[in-house]
Amino acid sequence: MNIAVFVSGGGTNLQAIIDNIKSGYLDGVNIALVVASNDGAYALTRASENGIPAVVKSVKAYESREAWDEDVLNTLIEKNIDLIVLAGYLSLLGEKTVKQYSNRIINIHPALIPSFCGKGMYGIKPHEAVLARGVKVSGATVHYVNENYDEGPIILQKVVDVLPSDTPEVLQKRIMKECEQVILPKAIKLISEGKVVIKNNIAYVEE
């Protein structure tokens, strides 16, 4: 299965996918392309250190959002991409790409959807909101992507306790390590093995 990993920042989730391919856990999965939303993303360094082809597709570099969408989609088709993985990608994909790759795009979100998600809830923000609300558990969610932020069928979730000593940064790190970097590779594996089925907007996982 050829995947394209979309990134905007540090790329710890990309690294987790790379490590799980190297270990053999993601047998048969190939990162055919990394797509970055900006040329400053450290994830690009991780791609080049691992010999993975990478491109920068910044919407600002195009005359319109539609032109950007079309170019992204053509690049994915050229590379025979089967699954798009949004791994810390902080933009919305274009409409054509979402339509063409319907039920073949997944995203990792650093909170337990449907809480602490939606427009503006990215990066450190969900963790700040979690602490401000005083909830006692948080975690991460892998879900399919449709045209609205964080609304597609949920594939996997993993939970951690929120501790009285947590700062947003401490909580973020724990969720990245204990939740995101576990369930994102796991979801890719399940999909590559044909073990995820969507019916009436619900994802059913055969484990």
> CA angle 192-196-199, nearest 5°?
145
153 binds ligand GAR (CB under 6 A): no
Site for ligand GAR in 67-126 (CB under 6 A): 87-88, 108-110, 122-123
Catalytic, out of 3, 76, 81, 109: 109
168 binds ligand GAR (CB under 6 A): no
By CB under 6 A, name the one of 34, 81, 93, 176 that touches ligand GAR.
Answer: 176
Count of chain residues binding ligand GAR (CB under 6 A): 16
Active site residue 127: no
139 binds ligand GAR (CB under 6 A): no
- 3-state DSSP of the chain: CEEEEEECCCCHHHHHHHHHHHCCCCCCCEEEEEEECCCCCCHHHHHHHCCCCEEECCHHHCCCHHHHHHHHHHHHHHCCCCEEEECCCCCCCCHHHHHHCCCCEEEEECCCCCCCCCCCCCCCHHHHHHHHHCCCEEEEEEEECCCCCCCCCEEEEEEEECCCCCCHHHHHHHHHHHHHHHHHHHHHHHHHCCCEEEECCEEEECC
Which residue sits closest to ligand GAR, CB atoms considered?
88
By CB under 6 A, name the one of 3, 4, 5, 13 that touches ligand GAR.
Answer: 13
Single out the segment in contact with ligand GAR by CB under 6 A; choices: 3-11, 22-30, 49-57, 64-72. 3-11
12 binds ligand GAR (CB under 6 A): yes
Q: How far is the CB of 83 from ligand GAR (least distance, A)?
A: 17
Active site residues: 109
Which spans of this chain sit near ligand GAR (rule: CB under 6 A)?
Answer: 7, 9-13, 43, 87-88, 108-110, 122-123, 176, 180
